[in-house]
Structure 1
Amino acid sequence: MSNINQSRRRLFNRKKSNAIRPPWSRTDVDFTDVCTRCDKCINVCETHILFRGDGGFPEINFKDDECTFCKKCADTCPEPLFIDTEESPWQLHAVVQESCLANNGIWCQSCKDACDERAITFKLAIGQAPKPLIDTDICTGCGACVAPCPTNAINLVTSS
């Protein structure tokens, strides 16, 4: 197969990335088509959760901190990568995995304590550790619950 055909195939068969892009940014394919990888959003991020990810494009990692929705990434970007910052920042919400201490009978509510939105509650049960419940209607996807989790049992996923 010629190199031209291989290039065309890659162009039309691009896969969606699982990377979490900055809040208010366009869809992943639109984002990577327009982003110049100038690092301005990374440099201005007040909680330092933005980093150069795959291909040098900005991605978010919540392992150390949360998104405060300060809008600095959108405001500093010279490209038309961001939608109206008065809209919802993204369609993310937290999901608790089975490795959660509370799901394994150990009392832990570190995620609840970190959630300013109060989207995480715990269901009491007799003779068991309370189990976490996430209200996806309240969860902003800020990631505040991710870093304090001692077992890395919280992931942020795109809402369906």
Structure 2
Amino acid sequence: MLDKSYYDKADEVIAVYGRKPDSLIPIMQDIQAAYRYLPKELLNYVADEIGVTRSRAYSVATFYENFSFEAKGKYVIKVCDGTACHVRKSVPVREALMKELGLNDKKHTTDDMLFTVEIVSCLGACGLAPVMMVNDDVHPKMTPDLAVELIHKLREGGAE
């Protein structure tokens, strides 16, 4: 069960976009921006409030890759494993991150909710391979050592 503050936030967002079915995506985007994920219980609430079936809201949320039903860390690290990055050794970068953060194939977010690591097919920066992103910042030509160094800087509150 979610805290009442989640529903209050949803009501604020709904008030901005209006109680209409066309508002579903922007409402979901704002809620996810606020919490770094889309709580399923809150999605149901929004659907009921704006007149969309719950199944429709769920199908929209699962169609778009940007939406996540799992809570994510403050820093979402996307490691590219597209062809160019893979050939230029993105796997050791990913492995170093996972080891440093104590994560594995089943656990993608640290217990302190500071880091989430995601493997993505392409970040569109093949010339900078291997590349990773931390939130919206691109980090080119990564090595395992540079990745671990970046984690240390972020833990200390350094810039992305």
- Give the TM-score taking structure 1 as reference length: 0.28
Q: For CA contacts below 8 A with separation 6 or more, give which structure has more relative contact order.
A: 1
Please state which structure has a larger fraction of its residues in helix. Answer: 2
